[in-house]
């Protein structure tokens, strides 16, 4: 039960942080396209956090109650 709760809560935290970083990355995009490294600074960790969070929430289903 503890592992399931930990995976689920950490998964949601990672998912929310990842989505916020993705949003910051999209908002940091300049009008002329990717000219600066700032969007990559937000987008790459944001995508990684979102994938890890989603995977943790998905794997939380398979732990026993």
Structure tokens at 61: 């289903």
Decide if pLDDT at 21 tops 70. Answer: yes
Q: The whole model's pTM is what?
A: 0.80
The structural domains of the chain, with segments of one domain joined by +, span 2-62
Cα–Cα distance, 24 to 62 (Å, whole number): 33
Percent of the chain with pLDDT over 90: 45
Cα–Cα distance, 21 to 41 (Å, whole number): 9
Q: HSE, CB side, 13 Å, CA atoms: give it for residue 55.
A: 7
Q: HSE, CB side, 13 Å, CA atoms: give it for residue 42.
A: 16
pLDDT digits (tens, 9 = 90+) for 26-64: 887 777 666 677 778 888 999 999 999 999 999 988 887
Decide if pLDDT at 10 tops 90. Answer: yes
Phi, psi of 31 (to 5 degrees): -65, -35
């Amino acid at each position: 039960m503890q592992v399931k709760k930990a995976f689920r809560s950490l998964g949601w935290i990672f998912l929310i942080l990842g989505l916020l970083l993705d949003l910051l990355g999209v908002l940091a995009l300049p009008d002329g396209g990717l000219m600066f490294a700032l969007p990559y600074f937000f987008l790459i960790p944001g995508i990684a956090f979102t994938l890890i969070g989603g995977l943790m929430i998905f794997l939380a289903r398979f732990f026993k109650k």
